[in-house]
Amino acid sequence: MDEKTLVQRAVTGDKEAFAGLYTRYKDGLYRYAFFKLGNDADAQDALSDCIVAAYRSIGSLKNAATFSAWIFRILYRCCCSYVKDQIEQNSRADISVLERVPTEDEKLLSVEIREALDQLDPADRDIILLSAVAGYNSREISAVTGIKATTVRSRLSRGLKKMRTFLE
């Protein structure tokens, strides 16, 4: 079944259609959350929150063609909320709690790429992750982040240049 039909059926309450959409998008959503949040557990939590929120509000989706941007926008907000909550928790945490052994997934992530991403401000990092990990173009990234498409293109270009410079 094509995506448009799945979305239309999911909007009317078809659980199997929503499950089909989830199956199509879960890997890309997870990859974005993983790169945004930095570890598997946090990415899984954010993805779970995203899917629950999307399922609850799928009936409000007006245009089936915008499903991809719509669900990534939900994940983007879930990740931002999760980061904010983590910052608040960490500011109250004992420093010894913050020292932990990295997971296997974190070890697989290139240290150099992570360091290059860390050189960017959070908005530019999001734009690069949405482009490189989720495969979105500037118009789609604009729909997710609320930043104008022309601004997305210039920030993507500057961010990638900054990363290249750092990696050289």
Q: What is the pTM (predicted TM-score) of this model?
A: 0.68
Which residue, 58, 56, 113, 49, is CA-closest to 80?
49
All structural domains of the chain with their residue ranges? 1-104, 110-168
pLDDT of residue 95: 43
CA distances from 4 to 66, 108, 129 (A): 10, 36, 25
DSSP for 1-17 reads --HHHHHHHHHTT-HHH
Q: Tell me how far apart the terminal alpha carbons of the chain are, to the nearest angstrom.
A: 46
pLDDT tens digits, the chain, 168 residues: what are they?
Answer: 888 999 999 999 999 999 999 999 999 999 899 988 888 889 999 999 999 999 999 998 888 888 988 999 999 999 988 877 766 655 554 444 444 445 555 554 567 777 888 888 888 988 988 888 777 888 888 888 889 999 999 999 999 999 888 887
pLDDT of residue 105: 52
pLDDT of residue 109: 53
Q: At what angle do helices 15-37 and 3-11 cross, to 10 degrees?
A: 110
CATH number of 1-104: 1.10.1740.10
CATH 1.10.10.10 fits 110-168, yes or no: yes
What's the burial of 139, exposed, middle or buried (CB within 10 Å: 0-12/13-18/19+)? exposed
